[in-house]
Amino acid sequence: MGSSKARNSAFAVSRSLGMLGNDWTLLILREAMSETTRFSEFRSSLGITADVLSRRLNTLVEYGVMSRMPYREPGCRTRHEYTLTDAGRELEVVLCALEQWGDKFLPWTSEPSIERRARESNRLVHVAFIDDRGREVPWQEVATVRPDAYHQGIAGAAGRQ
Amino acid sequence: MGSSKARNSAFAVSRSLGMLGNDWTLLILREAMSETTRFSEFRSSLGITADVLSRRLNTLVEYGVMSRMPYREPGCRTRHEYTLTDAGRELEVVLCALEQWGDKFLPWTSEPSIERRARESNRLVHVAFIDDRGREVPWQEVATVRPDAYHQGIAGAAGRQ
């Protein structure tokens, strides 16, 4: 899925996947969520080549998910730091939903691949549907409503296959 | 991302995206969530070619997300019906998380592309973090814990780049 195609898609799902649909992109985002900011740190914790890392970081900056800031240490050339924008930080919900599903239905080991806890209470959290009164709604009880934009989107998608 | 690569990935996120990472796959899943079951119905509501639809449905069956059942109407040849498995139905949470994020950060129109409501109360629902007492936890307050499986996964991913 090319990024311009994904960006122009009427479907929020396609636009999101256009940006996320790459193994390394996801691993870089996870590192960034653990406060990694420097190119060399991403390289050493992921064991990724400089070329691949550089392309992926550029894509993330282009989509507004990460931002790039120059910094300079004494006696060194100018380098760049990469930090998540608010859009990037909110991807935590998406990553968790994908991980939960993958751990349950396409398991690799018996362990969950990652755990999330509320910082204050240290209680385990999961991703689920919740209504506007703050009550969890089981997925079995959720109905989908399609506004006009959905049908316009289908028409657009059919022109592209 | 090839499906075998994605399936073998230690990362739940990569495994999930390996299956989801295609525009049509997502649109087919959405149709299936609206009770579409027949090949001809998928074709006419999506405007998709028979060849593309057939390949995508096969992938979904292979991943255990949809199941295929033969049926036969009087005077017609045997055809197949496609229905979501439990694994497929639970993807609703993942699709909603992706859509919410896409609608907020990569908007296409001012309207949300889709709405979800609790069947019983008709209240709007969204996807969010929730703790084991059923309380919503803002994403800003969620911390990530990496079990051993995560680090084994990184080592595996580095060998694949």
Nearest CA in chain B to A34: B144
Contact B161, A24 (CB under 8 A): yes
pLDDT number for residue A105 = 86
Interface test with B, best of A105, A141, A160 (most B CBs within 10 A): A105
- Of B34 and B127, the structure prediction assigns the larger pLDDT to B127
| DSSP state letter for B38 | B
pLDDT tens digits for B57-87?
A: 999 999 899 999 999 999 999 999 999 999 9
Instruction: Check A133 against B123: CB less than 8 A apart.
Output: yes
Output the CA torsion B32→B37→B40→B45 (10° steps): -30
pLDDT number for residue B7 = 47
> Which residues on chain B are in Cβ contact (under 8 Å) with A90?
101, 104-105, 139
Residue B103: pLDDT band with limits 50, 70, 90: confident
DSSP A3-14: HHHHHH-S-HHH
Interface test with B, best of A20, A90, A101 (most B CBs within 10 A): A101
pLDDT in tens, chain A (161 residues): 344 444 455 567 777 777 776 778 888 888 898 889 999 999 998 888 999 999 999 999 998 999 999 999 999 999 999 999 999 999 989 988 988 888 888 776 666 667 889 999 999 999 999 999 999 999 889 988 776 655 565 555 555 44
- Of B154 and A56, the structure prediction assigns the larger pLDDT to A56
Mean per-residue pLDDT, B114-128: 92
pLDDT number for residue B145 = 77
Residue B2 Cα distances to B18, B19, B24, angstroms: 7, 9, 16
Strands (DSSP E) contained in chain B are 66-71, 79-84, 115-118, 125-131, 136-137, 142-145
Report the gap between the CA of A40 and the closest CA in chain B (Å): 15
pLDDT number for residue A102 = 85
Interface test with A, best of B41, B59, B86, B113 (most A CBs within 10 A): B113
Mean per-residue pLDDT, B143-158: 63
- For chain B, give the number of residues: 161
Give the other-Cβ count within 10 Å of A58's Cβ: 12
Report the gap between the CA of B119 and the closest CA in chain A (Å): 6
Poorest-confidence range of A75-84, A140-149, B34-43, B148-157?
B148-157
Mean per-residue pLDDT, B27-38: 88
- pTM value? 0.79
What backbone torsions phi and psi does residue B146 show, to the nearest 5 degrees? -105, 110
Assembly ipTM: 0.80
Picking from A48, A127, A155, the nearest residue to B161 by CB comes out as A48
pLDDT number for residue B3 = 40
In the predicted structure, residue B138 carries a pLDDT above the cut 50:
yes
Mean per-residue pLDDT, B144-156: 63
Instruction: Give chain B's mean pLDDT.
Output: 82
Which candidate, A57, A68, A62, places its Cα nearest to that of A27?
A57
CB-based contacts of A80, cutoff 8 Å, min separation 6: A39, A68, A69, A70, A71
Can you read off the two tokens belonging to residue A49?
């080549």
Alpha helices in chain A (DSSP H): 3-8, 12-20, 23-33, 39-46, 50-62, 86-105, 148-158
